[in-house]
Amino acid sequence: MSPRQHKRKYPQHGKGRNKPSYVYLIIVGGGIILLLAIAGWFVQNASVKIEGTPSIAVDPSQINFGDVKLGTPLSFTIKVTNRGNGILKFEEKPYIEVLEGC
């Protein structure tokens, strides 16, 4: 058998013909992952109509430590609940207002 006949009988791989099937699976899988990521982004950023009215309740509403020496560490616990029928959502970090003489 001559080398020329051998080449015709067994074609060379890697010239674009006979690509392995796993290459197609990787391309299709990557496309599916990309589509799912885009869909997830749209779902996450979609505006949802929120019904109901939130109503915040804080217990206790006032904390009085009396006269305290400057530099004395103090702590307290408050309970925040939503008594309304809507979603209670903070737009900013909650803060505490310290009033003197009250």
Per-domain residue ranges of the chain: 3-45
> Is the predicted pLDDT of residue 36 greater than 80, yes or no?
yes
Give the integer Cα–Cα distance in Å for 65 and 96.
Answer: 15
pTM of the model: 0.38
* DSSP bridge pairs for 82: 56
Identify the CA nearest to 56 among candidates 91, 21, 25.
91
Strand ranges in the chain using DSSP code E only, listed in sequence order:
56-59, 79-82
| Comparison of pLDDT for 13 and 79, the residue scoring more | 79
> Is the predicted pLDDT of residue 33 greater than 90, yes or no?
yes
CA 95-101-102 angle, 5° bins? 70
Q: What is the pLDDT of residue 48?
A: 62
Q: Provide the percentage of residues in the chain whose pLDDT is more than 90.
A: 9
Mean pLDDT of the chain: 77
What does DSSP assign to residue 59? E
